[in-house]
Every structure is written in structure tokens, then in C-alpha cells.
Amino acid sequence: MLFLHQTQKEGFDKTESPDLAGKMKRLSNKTILVVDDDIKNVFVMSTALEEHGAKVVDAQNGQEALDLLSDKTIDLVLMDIMMPVMDGYTAIKKIRENIQTKSLPVIALTAKALKEDREKCIAAGADDYLAKPVDYDMLIGLVEAWCQKKM
């Protein structure tokens, strides 16, 4: 979040950086579903993704995410693990069970950063894993990589 405020305060102009302009093109026409029950996390991730050209849709829990996936075209899911109603593990498993979303890239997000937690996310069906607080550059890099791999 500090990075986002710093760039605004310094008057950072996206058109000045050819590297950033290239990144924006790579995420343009991509729709990312951010699933997290913490609105601050949704805001930070959405802002970062939108700065790179992505369209962001959000859900507050796994059940809302599954409902959105049934009627929207999504290119990638960022899935928090610990949420009310339906947790991320269950939601990821249901995404993998559905023939229409089986190959949809899913990146798990969790405040737990232990090796076992990463393995549990991958075992549930996540393609990748990020520990919170999420590193801005790592987030954008992973989203770009998985969106390109899907193509």
C-alpha cells in the first residue's frame, strides 16, 4: 500500500516508463477474480492489477467466487484461504471439480507462510501460492506468468 501512495505522491506517470506500459498491455483484456474477506486486501490487490490493465472482479468468500465463476469469464483467481462461509481450500477443490473451470489458474493467498501451508494449497489444487502480506512485484509477476501460460 505504501508503494501505491508513494507513486501517487511523487507524481509517477505511467506513460514515462516503457516497462510499465508493456506490463499494462500484458494484463489488458484479462479479468482477475480476487477472493478475500478483507476489503483492504481486495483494494490493494485490485489497485495493483488495474494499474497494469487488468479488470478486477471481487468476492468475499469461496461461495461467492463459485457463483461468479458460473456466469463470468475469468482469466485467473487470487484465492484467500481463511474466509467465512467457504474457505479457499474448499473453493479451489470445487473449481477443480468443475469441467468448465478445471484448468483456470488459481493462486492461493494466505497469511500462513509455513512450508506445510504451501503444500496444502497446492494439494487442494492451487497452481501457485503467495504469502501475505503480498509483495507487489511478486503478485504482478505471477499473475502475468499464469495469464500468459493459460493462453
Q: What percent of the chain has pLDDT over 70?
A: 80
In this structure, the number of other CB atoms found within 10 A of the CB of residue 100 comes to: 9
Task: State the pLDDT at residue 21.
Answer: 52
Rounded to 10 deg, the angle between the 39-51 and 2-9 helix axes is: 50
Element (H, E) at 33: strand 31-35
Cell of 49: 492489477
Instruction: State the Rg of the chain over Cα.
Output: 15
CATH of the domain at 22: 3.40.50.2300
Total domains in the fold of the chain: 1
Alpha carbons 83 and 110: distance in angstroms, whole number: 10
Cell numbers at 18, concatenated: 516503457
pLDDT in tens, 98-123: 999 999 999 999 887 677 888 899 99
Type of residue found at 30? K
Q: Flag residues of the chain having pLDDT under 70.
A: 1-26, 113, 150-151
Taking the whole predicted model, whether its pTM rises above 0.85 is answered as: no
Domain span at residue 130? Answer: 2-150
Q: Helix 115-124 vs helix 88-97: angle between axes, to the nearest 10 degrees?
A: 30
